[in-house]
């Protein structure tokens, strides 16, 4: 099925964190505190997607208060942390949301994301994803994870669904 046809049906955008919302690097202080860097343009893309009724969820294998905090700031609906089996987590998510898998886009970067990417109606890999992951993706972004890839996905979904022009007009004041 054509990429734009798949994208037109998406209602829920599901994101991995490390390597998708961040550049994948893990930063720790000597005291063991963890730091993550998030891209503000990715965040604004998520806000625009939500503004037009799109829903967003996170599935990540790690546990982090930073992720919970960022999700809360962006109004992300559901955060599933500590989930090694992301395919199972995605199936639980669509059941909770009462959606079909074809209405879900999943963005990942590494092997633990493959099951969810292949189940989703639209599987997306970020530009710096592992080659095996890119091979199984419906779409590969031109931007790297943590460097605008999520914004690129949001813009693509908004444009495909005919919602981007109205959002741009709002910011232009027209």
Query: pLDDT tens digits for 45-57?
Result: 999 999 999 999 9
Query: Does residue 170 register a pLDDT over 90?
Result: no
Q: How many CB atoms lie within 10 A of CB 104?
A: 25
pLDDT number for residue 1: 62
pTM: 0.95
Tokens of 164: 């981007």
In 10 A of CB 58, how many CB atoms? Answer: 25
Q: Which of 6, 36, 9, 32 is nearest to 21 (CA)?
A: 36
> Rounded to 5 degrees, what are φ and ψ at 12?
-125, 125
- The token duo for 120 is 């989703």
Q: How confident is the model at residue 33 (pLDDT cuts 50, 70, 90)?
A: confident
User: At CA 85, angle to CA 158 and CA 35, rounded to 5?
Assistant: 70
Question: Domain 8-53+65-76+140-164 is classified in which CATH homologous superfamily?
Answer: HAD superfamily/HAD-like (3.40.50.1000)
Q: Which tokens is 105 given?
A: 């886009």
- Confidence band for 141, pLDDT divided at 50, 70 and 90: very high
**Beta-carbon contacts of residue 51 (< 8 Å; ≥ 6 apart):** 167
Residue count of the chain, please give it. 174
Pairing of strands 34-35, 27-28: antiparallel
């Amino acid at each position: 099925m054509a990429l734009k046809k798949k994208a037109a049906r998406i209602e829920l955008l599901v994101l991995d964190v490390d390597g998708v919302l961040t550049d994948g690097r893990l930063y720790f202080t000597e005291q063991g505190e963890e730091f993550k860097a998030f891209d503000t343009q990715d965040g604004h893309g998520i806000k625009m997607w939500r503004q037009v009724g799109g829903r967003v969820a996170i599935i990540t294998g790690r546990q982090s208060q930073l992720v919970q905090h960022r999700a809360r700031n962006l109004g992300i609906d559901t955060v599933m942390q500590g989930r090694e089996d992301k395919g199972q987590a995605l199936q639980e998510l669509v059941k909770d949301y009462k959606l079909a898998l074809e209405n879900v886009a999943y963005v990942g970067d590494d092997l633990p994301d493959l099951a969810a990417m292949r189940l989703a109606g639209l599987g997306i890999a970020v530009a710096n994803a592992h080659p095996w992951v890119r091979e199984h993706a419906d779409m590969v972004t031109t931007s790297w994870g943590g460097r605008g890839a999520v914004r690129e996905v949001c813009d693509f979904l908004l444009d495909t669904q005919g919602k981007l022009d109205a959002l741009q007009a709002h910011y232009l004041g027209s």
